[in-house]
Structure 1
Amino acid sequence: MITQRVMYGSASYGKTAFFARGIQMDDNGNPIVVRTVEKYNADAKSWTMINGMHKARNYDETTNSWELIPDMLKDMTFITPSQSPPLIAVVDDNLYMLETSLNELRVYDINTNIWKKLGVVPVSANTTFGWGTAFKSMGDRLLVVGSSHSWHRKGIVYSSCPSPDVEEQH
């Protein structure tokens, strides 16, 4: 990475990965918010600094710019300020979110600006406010790693080939 950071947001599309915001330590050891966005090209094995963003936006690689998507997270439930940032992944040009307070898998409909509920995932992201839960794309699949709902809290890996056109998938 060009800018070292922790607790950053990340997303991948094909062989390109994006890393946004996060926390780094200043010279005195105090945490500061990183406002930059970087992309990594796996073919070229190179990092590029791209324009930062301050609101929910859509990135256009052809123009190297961000497009504002108003109220994109308006349906997101925030139970506590200590809740993790939204867990987002892209599969087959569709944007998916794990709504951690409800353990719900959702897909974004760009035409209606609505997150459509697809179903509940078998992880307990809600008990840790989303922290410690991984939500990533892997080819044509979504991968969720977290702990189970059961009382002994075993670690589980959940994989799914989602369909944005079907509601209430399991």
Structure 2
Amino acid sequence: MQSSVVSKKFTGPTSSVRINVPELWVFFSCHALMWEAFDPLSKQWMDLPILNADEVFQFSDKESMAAGTELLVLGKDMFGQAIYKYSLSTNSWSAGKKMNTPRCLFASACLGKTAIFAGGVDESGKTRDTVESYDSETGAWETLPSLLNSRKMSSGVMMDGKFYVIGGSGGKGGKALLSGEEYDFEAKKWRHIPNMSPGGGTGSMAPPLLAVVANELYAADCLAMTVKKYNKVKNVWENIGRLPERAESMGGWGIAFRGCGDRVIIVGGPRRRGDSRLEIYSWVPSQGPPEWSVIGQKESNSFVYNCTIMG
């Protein structure tokens, strides 16, 4: 995988240092207000400045998404929904503008400078069908056509130039939704796709763990410890191999499964007593069935709370 570089300048009180930063970074957090980044190619680690937020935000559930060269972290503070954004160009955090319809437990994905957020639960606990896009260059939110179904705990991906919202739960009684929805940016319409969910997003299960590489969709089945690939023609999920042994989770919580350039990345935290390793695994689908290699390892005392890819 080839990665272009952008020039990043850190300016301190008495000195200025210019370094090259690879285009693809894996951003993740194993602590309330601390974030790290890892470059899969150079194996370089980077610690971000500590996020300065109130105690309510520190202990609230948080969700993240990258857009352009910004990392968005969404949660709640004492005044309601709060959004903080980290800028790669300035190496600093700042407060972001709130959504038009604040919510959590949404599906999200990014395409270049734009991030899309769909569904979720609003501040009153109601499951939503609303959809918004965020422009990292202007900081503006735009309301898009609503989903066909209200849903929460679903997952979002970009594939073939379209945005997909998959699985989760919704409707009366919060029943499992096995379908997916496809958004066509040109037509500005949603299309229903039955049986597109690989499972997850109901009860105590995490939302579906999905990754897109070369416009192919993969899923991690943490109960069976297998990797699935979505067959677009037949509209079925097919088992293609195993997850790495240490990719353990609690119903899908605690690990990250993401597409990163030409590879699938898994970020997993420690699980066993006395084991303080956090490991990052990589598999390149174009090279054949899943064969995982450890490309990063460090000490950690917690599992992965949030993860996103900036590129």
**Fold match by TM threshold 0.5:** yes
Query: Which of the numbers 38, 49, 57 marks the counterpart of 2:132?
Result: 38
User: Does residue 1:8 correspond to 2:8, yes or no?
Assistant: no
The one-letter code matched in structure 1 to 2:237 is W
SS in 2 for 1:7: coil
User: Does residue 1:116 correspond to 2:225, yes or no?
Assistant: no
Query: Structure 1: any 5+ residue segments left out of the alignment?
Result: none
Deviations 1:34-54 (A, max 9, x none): 321222344554332222322
How much does 1:12 deviate?
2.6
| Structure of higher CA gyration radius | 2
User: How many matched pairs?
Assistant: 161
- Deviation >6 Å, runs of 4+: none
2:203 corresponds to which residue? Answer: 81
Q: What is the 5 A alignment of 1:92-111?
A: 92-111=214-233
User: Does residue 1:145 correspond to 2:267, yes or no?
Assistant: yes
CA root-mean-square deviation: 2.8
TM-score norm. by structure 2 comes to: 0.44
Describe the shift of the 1:69–1:63 C-alpha distance in structure 2 as closer, same or farther (beyond 3 A): same
Describe the shift of the 1:165–1:138 C-alpha distance in structure 2 as closer, same or farther (beyond 3 A): closer
**Contact 1:143/1:157 (8 A) holds in 2:** no
Query: Which of the numbers 189, 202, 222 marks the counterpart of 1:65?
Result: 189
**Contact 1:142/1:162 (8 A) holds in 2:** yes
SS in 2 for 1:40: strand
How much does 1:164 deviate?
6.2
TM-score norm. by structure 1 comes to: 0.74
State the alpha-carbon separation in 2 of the partners of residues 5 and 153 from structure 1: 36
State the alpha-carbon separation in 1 of the partners of residues 264 and 228 from structure 2: 12
**Contact 2:264/2:285 (8 A) holds in 1:** no
State the alpha-carbon separation in 2 of the partners of residues 159 and 45 from structure 1: 33
State the alpha-carbon separation in 2 of the partners of residues 83 and 89 from structure 1: 17
State the alpha-carbon separation in 1 of the partners of residues 234 and 281 from structure 2: 27
Describe the shift of the 1:145–1:23 C-alpha distance in structure 2 as closer, same or farther (beyond 3 A): farther
Describe the shift of the 1:146–1:24 C-alpha distance in structure 2 as closer, same or farther (beyond 3 A): farther
**Contact 2:220/2:243 (8 A) holds in 1:** no
**Contact 1:144/1:158 (8 A) holds in 2:** yes
The one-letter code matched in structure 1 to 2:243 is V
Describe the shift of the 1:47–1:149 C-alpha distance in structure 2 as closer, same or farther (beyond 3 A): same
Query: Which of the numbers 102, 115, 125 marks the counterpart of 1:17?
Result: 115
Query: Structure 2: any 5+ residue segments left out of the alignment?
Result: 1-98, 150-178, 293-311
